[in-house]
Structure formats: C-alpha cells, structure tokens
C-alpha cells in the first residue's frame, strides 16, 4: 500500500521483540530496496546470513542487491553461496549468467544459462537470455537452436518468429 513509514515501524518493532525474526528483517530489507536504501538493505541481509548461514534466499537476495549496486564481482560470491543451498533454483543461475554476461565472461555466462535451461527448459527468459549471449558473441548457429526452441514453445509469438528469421538470414 506504499505506506513505507508504517511498514518500517512495524518491522522494526517486530525485530525489537525478537532480534532473530529474520522474516521481518528480510521484508524490511525488501522495503528498503524498493525505496533505494540499498545500503540499509544490504546490512540487514548480511545479518540474516550471519544468523542463518544455511538460508539460501538471503544469499540470493544479497547477490541481486549487490549486483544492482554495480558490484558485480562481489555478487558472484553470493550467487555461489545461494546455489550451494538451492541447487535446483533455476532463476539463480539465470541472474548469475547475466552478471557474467555484463562482465564479458562468455564461457561462465553460457554455463549458467545452460544450467538454468537444464533445470527449466521451457522458461522463455532463459532461452532468450542465451540467445542474446550467443548473438553478442556471433555464435549464430547456437543462437538459432534456442530461437527455434522459443518458436516451438510459442508458435504464435511473432517477436520470436522474427528473431528466428533474422538469425537465419544472417547465417546465410
């Protein structure tokens, strides 16, 4: 309801009553993130990690937050920790792949995209992500394989058909 002040006050009150109530801490971190108070959000998430070192979502949230702040290399460590605790969570690999892609680490990015696709082969975002990676690296035949998969998954999607046709035309 965008009543930031009231929400913050409620979360802080809950944490004052129980300093280990990390659900409230995570929600408060999310609230701060929505307001652009990312340093406060990061501090809260690090507290969750200290208190519950096996809680994968906290590492994943930290990875996303730190990447959002532009500290891509730091985010990689948090992605590694998140995936240790949630190895079948495809979205972690996808976001990790994007970080590697931004860092121009083609091979690492490709591996993470492929892992996300392996876990969830019908996810459009993952297929589209690896297509962009392959196109950036002029791997047109590889991009075409995934574009065909997108068209197969969504035969009525004109955007995917056009993408596939453009890739085919560039191969010729």
Which pLDDT tens digit goes with each residue over 74-93? Answer: 999 999 999 999 999 999 99
What percent of the chain stands above pLDDT 90? Answer: 94
More confident of the two residues 3 and 73: 73
Give the largest Cα separation in the chain, rounded.
67
Residues 6+ apart with CB under 8 A from 99: 63, 67, 72, 75, 76, 79
Residue 113 banded pLDDT, cuts 50, 70, 90: very high
| Homologous superfamily (CATH) for 1-87 | Tetratricopeptide repeat domain (1.25.40.10)
Give CA separation, 93 vs 42, 69, 100, in Å: 21, 19, 10
Q: Where are the domains of the chain?
A: 1-87, 91-172
- The CA-to-CA distance between both ends of the chain, in Å, stands at 53
- Kindly report whether the global pTM for this prediction surpasses the value 0.95: no
User: 164: which residues sit within 8 A by CB, 6+ positions away?
Assistant: 144, 147, 148, 150, 151
According to the model, what pLDDT value does residue 4 have?
A: 83
pLDDT given for residue 172 in this prediction: 81
Please tell me if the domain spanning 1-87 has the same topology as the one spanning 91-172: yes
Is residue 144 over pLDDT 90? yes
**What average pLDDT does range 38-44 have in this prediction?**
96
CATH superfamily of this structure's domain 91-172: Tetratricopeptide repeat domain (1.25.40.10)
């Amino acid at each position: 309801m965008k009543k930031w002040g009231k929400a913050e006050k409620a979360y802080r009150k809950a944490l004052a009553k129980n300093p280990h109530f990390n659900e409230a801490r995570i929600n408060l971190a999310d609230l701060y993130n929505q307001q652009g108070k990312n340093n406060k959000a990061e501090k809260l998430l690090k507290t969750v990690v200290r208190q519950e070192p096996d809680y994968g979502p906290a590492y994943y949230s930290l990875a996303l937050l730190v990447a959002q702040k532009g500290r891509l290399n730091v985010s990689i460590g948090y992605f590694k920790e998140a995936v240790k605790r949630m190895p079948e969570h495809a979205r972690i690999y996808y976001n990790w792949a994007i970080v590697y892609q931004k860092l121009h680490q083609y091979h690492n990015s490709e591996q993470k995209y492929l892992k996300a696709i392996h876990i969830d082969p019908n996810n459009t975002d993952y297929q589209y992500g690896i297509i962009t990676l392959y196109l950036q690296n002029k791997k047109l035949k590889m991009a075409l394989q995934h574009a065909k998969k997108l068209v197969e998954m969504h035969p009525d999607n004109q955007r995917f058909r056009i993408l596939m046709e453009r890739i085919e035309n560039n191969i010729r």
